[in-house]
Amino acid sequence: MSAEPTTKTSGQRSRKDLACTAAASAYQKQFGADLKRRVVDEGEPFAIVQADTPHEIFHVMGIPIITNQWWSAYISAKQLSNHYFEVMAQAGYPKNSCKYCSLGLACTLANDPKTAPWGGLPKPTVLVARMTCDCIQHVFGQWADALGSEFFPMEAPAWEHKDPRWFAHSKDQWEQVYDADRIALAVSEMRDLITLLENRTGRKFDEAKLHYLMERINEQEGYIWEAAQAIGTARPCPVSIAEQMPNTMIPQWHRGSDWAVGHARRFRDEVMERIAAGEGSATNEKIRLMWIGAGVWHDPGFYQALEERMGAVFVWSMYMPFAGPQYIREVQGRPMEALASRICSMNEVLHLPPWMNGWMTSEAERCGIDACVVLLPPENRLSQSGTKITAEALEKAGVPVLMIDADMVDAANWDHDRMVGMVAEFLQKRGLA
Amino acid sequence: MFAYAGPNLPHDLFEATGRNAGPLTWNIDRAMPAADRWLESKFAPWTRSTLQDWADGALDHLEAVVFSRADDSAQRLYYYLCELRRAGSIRGPEPLVLDIAKSPRESSIARDEVALRKLAERFGVDEAALSVAILAGNEKRAASTIEPLGEKVCLIAGSPLPDARMHRMVARSGWSAVGRTLADEWQDAGNLVDEDGDSFAALARQLHARRLDTRGFFDRSGALTDVARNSGANAAILWLIEEDDTTVWHLPAMRTALEAQGLPVMVATRRDWSCADGIDTEIAAFLAGVAS
């Protein structure tokens, strides 16, 4: 079914200023090796899950998970994305199908162990996704069929309580912010998922363990949020988003573990040390930039490309500041409900008005943002969603916005030099450089 | 009066209100600056027309519009309209959303029932009124008939059609066309609703089981095979628009299923919903080839 993979990328590596960044990457590399050993070599039960599902349940039960977005990024980092897009086209899928969530499916359908990372994934116990868009249930349903497994869909119910300042209350008033009935539905679904996992794996869920994990996650995300607040006020910005992202996301894949809590603390400390020493990501910071969208995983060096040339520093992306309002939860003696409030709107607040524009304009003000760059994947409605209204709100707040048509995992229409040049030209045209 | 937008909606409940103005309509053959300003490219094309109408005040005679959660573009447009009204960028009717849950699970059916009761309360419909409307709706369902078709039938499937323009293209080649428009999808009242027991619970079960929306859990290629067989199709066109992100995932299986029935199949993907991209010429050539 598949031809020899071809690679195409113009991506560049990012510069690392923090010692903890290398430590996070090394941990994740070792974790990947351990995960492969457990699920591929030893056949341990595991699950394939979307990023916005309750990973905490799996952590409590000691069931390994492969997050679809992480697996997509892994495939992309191996320079295999274009190959798998071609595999899908050869199988008869239109070339404009959503790419971000379907790379894993493509890898499975290719059925080519010689090419696939880890030789391809074995049969998981279950695949879990929230139905936040129209395509995900079809991708996961077909992926489950191809792997001989089962798809466990979770609802993404309508949300009628619309508070543009949700982020100011979500930590302790989560029942009001996210709607009690939406939380109750998510809890009901999580209990069904737990039953399925217990029956299939023989492993038991312990709510007391979840309570402890939730408190540990609060501690972890508290460190990240503390660092995010400091980055917002520090001049110059001590750490570019190229390093904010891995130091937030890698611990978040392992949230609540001793390593994750410890790493978050170490990251916070290194950020604070750089602020205290007056060290900036750029030697002469002039322009503070905001990045809206998923990370451009095939070209991490993009974010630092204009630091020395124009003093333009990407100060903000969603991943790090999201730790505060969307992860930290006062448990209030109800860990399942607190967890449900974390996951039942994780995608919505990032892609729908009024939550998206409300939060991002507030964040732009908090961080002293001078201009914003928005990623607009042409074939992904969910990732596009809310960007124009948010761009208009930012412009109204005095923040110039550049929107670029590109995809976070598809390098085919991305050229590093062209994209960097586009940002530079935009900054010049808007009188910022 | 209120209108509605989207598939998988409770038509019996709508009729019980006595204020149902029917589905929103669309006109995509015009400039739509408001849509260009606020909507991203992957939204279903009808949403552009709706947003433009809303911004132009063309819907001001309505008190509300009910959007379906069973369609991603419809539910996203609901949030956009709410926000644009809050910001004072547009005026117009109140956007409402009906939260249709579709997972094959009891909690989703219960969610649908709660959503129906909430909407009924908004429109002042009680159980007795809904029960009467369900009886009337079932009578209409039982009385519906299927139009007879010609000898040569071409099935058009994939994305819902904008109107009958593709039917007319097929007819120009001397064939009869079978294919559902978006209006057909939205106005489809579904199968009979259980008349025993609680009316809201019965309507919730009917909505949950329906198969016409983008989020339903069912075998789409199997369902398409049934349609092809029941309509006596002699050829098929699988037509998918650029904005489609649902049926695209079933295209290979659908094509295989139709070809397994011995049908010649024309596949047209990434197409323009207005059909102004030369599809008429392609259809004529395809059907001429089939006829020969």
Report the residue of chain A nearest B114, measured CA to CA: A181
Q: Which of B141, B162, B183 is where one domain is finished?
A: B141
Q: Is the pLDDT of residue A220 over 80?
A: yes
CATH of the domain at B70: 3.40.50.11890
**Rg, chain A, Cα only:** 21
Report the residue of chain A nearest B98, measured CA to CA: A158
- Give a yes or no: residue A7 inside a domain: no
> Tens digit of pLDDT for each residue in A277-318?
999 999 999 999 999 998 887 788 899 999 989 999 999 999
* Continuous H helices in A62-153: 68-77, 81-90, 103-110, 136-147
Q: Residues of A323-358 as b/e, b for ≥16 C-beta within 10 angstroms?
A: bbbbbbbebeebbbbbbbbbbbbbbbbbbbbbbbbb
**Torsion angle defined by CA atoms of residues A355, A358, A361 and A363, in that order, rounded to the nearest 10 degrees:** -70
Q: Any idea what the Cα angle at residue B170 is, between residues B164 and B172, rounded to 5°?
A: 105
Q: Report the candidate in A369, A57, A343 with the shortest Cα–Cα distance to residue A233.
A: A369
* pLDDT score of A299: 83
| Interface predicted TM-score of the whole assembly (ipTM), two decimals | 0.95
A397 to chain B, any CB pair closer than 8 A? The answer is no
- Give a yes or no: residue A8 inside a domain: no
A155 chain-B contacts, CB cut-off 8 A: 101-103, 107-108, 111
Shared-domain flag, residues B157 and B137: no
Shared-domain flag, residues B83 and B206: no
> Tens digit of pLDDT for each residue in B114-158?
999 999 999 999 999 999 999 999 999 999 877 777 789 999 999
- Give a yes or no: residue A222 inside a domain: yes
- Give a yes or no: residue A11 inside a domain: no
* pLDDT score of A10: 59
- pLDDT above 70 covers a percentage of chain A that reads 97
Shared-domain flag, residues B22 and B125: yes
Q: Do A353 and B82 touch (CB under 8 A)?
A: yes
- Give a yes or no: residue A196 inside a domain: yes
For B255, which of A92, A154, A158 is closest by C-beta distance? A92
- pLDDT above 90 covers a percentage of chain A that reads 82
B:185-244 residues touching chain A, CB 8 A cutoff: 214-215, 217, 240, 242-243
> Tens digit of pLDDT for each residue in B277-288?
999 999 999 999
Shared-domain flag, residues B49 and B109: yes
Q: How many angstroms away from the CA of A164 is the closest CA of chain B?
A: 9
B76 chain-A contacts, CB cut-off 8 A: 352, 381, 385
Shared-domain flag, residues B93 and B208: no
Report yes or no: A286 and A310 within 8 Å, Cβ to Cβ: yes
B75 chain-A contacts, CB cut-off 8 A: 158
B:52-71 residues touching chain A, CB 8 A cutoff: 69, 71
Per DSSP bridges, beta strands A126-130 and A151-154 are parallel
Shared-domain flag, residues B153 and B287: yes
Shared-domain flag, residues B73 and B175: no
Q: Do A158 and B76 touch (CB under 8 A)?
A: no
Q: Report the candidate in B58, B55, B56, B68 with the shortest Cα–Cα distance to residue B25.
A: B58
Q: Do B215 and A134 touch (CB under 8 A)?
A: yes
> Tens digit of pLDDT for each residue in A346-372?
999 999 999 999 999 999 999 999 999
> Tens digit of pLDDT for each residue in B248-259?
999 999 999 999
Shared-domain flag, residues B154 and B287: yes
Q: Any idea what the Cα angle at residue A15 is, between residues A51 and A411, rounded to 5°?
A: 55
Shared-domain flag, residues B124 and B26: yes
B119 to chain A, any CB pair closer than 8 A? The answer is no
* pLDDT score of A2: 38
A153 chain-B contacts, CB cut-off 8 A: 103-104, 217
DSSP 3-state of B20:
strand
User: What phi, psi does A63 have (nearest 5°)?
Assistant: -100, 120
- The overall average pLDDT reported for chain B is 96
How far apart CA B69 and CA A134 sit, in angstroms, is: 10
* pLDDT score of A378: 81
A106 chain-B contacts, CB cut-off 8 A: none
How far apart CA B71 and CA B100 sit, in angstroms, is: 9
Q: How much is the average pLDDT of B264-276?
A: 97
User: What phi, psi does A130 have (nearest 5°)?
Assistant: -85, 140
Distances, alpha carbon A204 to alpha carbons A54, A210, A350, B43, in Å: 16, 12, 33, 43
Q: Which of A7-21, A117-131, A294-308 has the lowest mean pLDDT?
A: A7-21
Q: Do A379 and B42 touch (CB under 8 A)?
A: yes
Q: What is the 3-state secondary structure (H, E, C) of A307-375?
A: HHHHCEEEEECCCCCCHHHHHCCCCCCCHHHHHHHHHCCCCHHHHCCCHHHHHHHHHHHHCCCCEEEEE
Q: Residue A229 belongs to what domain range?
A: 19-429
Q: How many angstroms away from the CA of B72 is the closest CA of chain A?
A: 6
- Give a yes or no: residue A9 inside a domain: no
**Total structural domains within chain A:** 1
B41 to chain A, any CB pair closer than 8 A? The answer is yes
Q: How many angstroms away from the CA of A160 is the closest CA of chain B?
A: 8
Q: Residue B233 belongs to what domain range?
A: 149-291
Which of B40, B43, B119 should one mutate to test binding to chain A, selecting the residue with the greatest count of A CBs within 10 A?
A: B40
- pLDDT above 90 covers a percentage of chain B that reads 93
* pLDDT score of A8: 47
Report yes or no: B80 and A353 within 8 Å, Cβ to Cβ: yes
Q: Do A94 and B80 touch (CB under 8 A)?
A: no
Report the residue of chain A nearest B67, measured CA to CA: A158
Q: What DSSP line would sit under A102-128, residue for residue? A: THHHHHHHHT-TTTSGGGS----SEEE
User: What phi, psi does A54 have (nearest 5°)?
Assistant: -75, 80
DSSP 3-state of A290:
strand
Q: Which of B104, B125, B141 is where one domain is finished?
A: B141
Indicate the angle between helix axes A258-277 and A19-36, nearest 10 degrees: 160
Q: Do B215 and A137 touch (CB under 8 A)?
A: yes
Q: Do B252 and A387 touch (CB under 8 A)?
A: no
B105 chain-A contacts, CB cut-off 8 A: 189, 192
Task: Write down how long chain B is.
Answer: 292
Shared-domain flag, residues B199 and B178: yes
Q: How many angstroms away from the CA of A392 is the closest CA of chain B?
A: 9
* pLDDT score of A409: 67
Shared-domain flag, residues B106 and B229: no
- Give a yes or no: residue A12 inside a domain: no
B115 chain-A contacts, CB cut-off 8 A: 158
CATH of the domain at B184: 3.40.50.11900
pTM recorded for the entire structure: 0.95
How far apart CA A163 and CA A178 sit, in angstroms, is: 9
Q: How many angstroms away from the CA of A352 is the closest CA of chain B?
A: 7
A379 chain-B contacts, CB cut-off 8 A: 42
Sequence-ordered list of residues with C-beta below 8 angstroms from that of A138, at least 6 positions apart, any chain: B246, B249, B250
Q: How many angstroms away from the CA of B238 is the closest CA of chain A?
A: 12
> Tens digit of pLDDT for each residue in A132-180?
998 999 999 999 999 999 999 999 999 999 999 999 999 999 999 999 9
Q: Do A353 and B97 touch (CB under 8 A)?
A: no
- Residue A276 burial (CB count, 10 A): 11
Q: How many angstroms away from the CA of B263 is the closest CA of chain A?
A: 18
- Give a yes or no: residue A106 inside a domain: yes
A:331-390 residues touching chain B, CB 8 A cutoff: 352-354, 357, 376, 378-382, 384-385, 387-389
A392 to chain B, any CB pair closer than 8 A? The answer is yes
* pLDDT score of A5: 44
> What's the sign of the alpha-carbon dihedral B118, B120, B123, B126?
negative
Q: How much is the average pLDDT of A410-426?
A: 88
For B42, which of A154, A160, A381 is closest by C-beta distance? A381
> Tens digit of pLDDT for each residue in A322-334?
999 999 999 999 9
Q: Do A138 and B242 touch (CB under 8 A)?
A: no
Q: Report the candidate in A178, A277, A233 with the shortest Cα–Cα distance to residue A365.
A: A233
User: What phi, psi does B213 have (nearest 5°)?
Assistant: -95, 175
**Total structural domains within chain B:** 2
B:233-252 residues touching chain A, CB 8 A cutoff: 240, 242-243, 245-246, 248-252
Amino acid at A264: A
Q: Which of B141, B174, B195 is where one domain is finished?
A: B141
Shared-domain flag, residues B136 and B168: no
* pLDDT score of A98: 79
Q: Report the candidate in A310, A319, A311 with the shortest Cα–Cα distance to residue A243.
A: A319
Model confidence at A7, in pLDDT bands (50, 70, 90)? very low
- The overall average pLDDT reported for chain A is 93
Q: Do B101 and A185 touch (CB under 8 A)?
A: yes
Q: Which of A54-68, A362-376, A395-409, B185-199 has the lowest mean pLDDT?
A: A395-409
Q: How much is the average pLDDT of A73-78?
A: 85
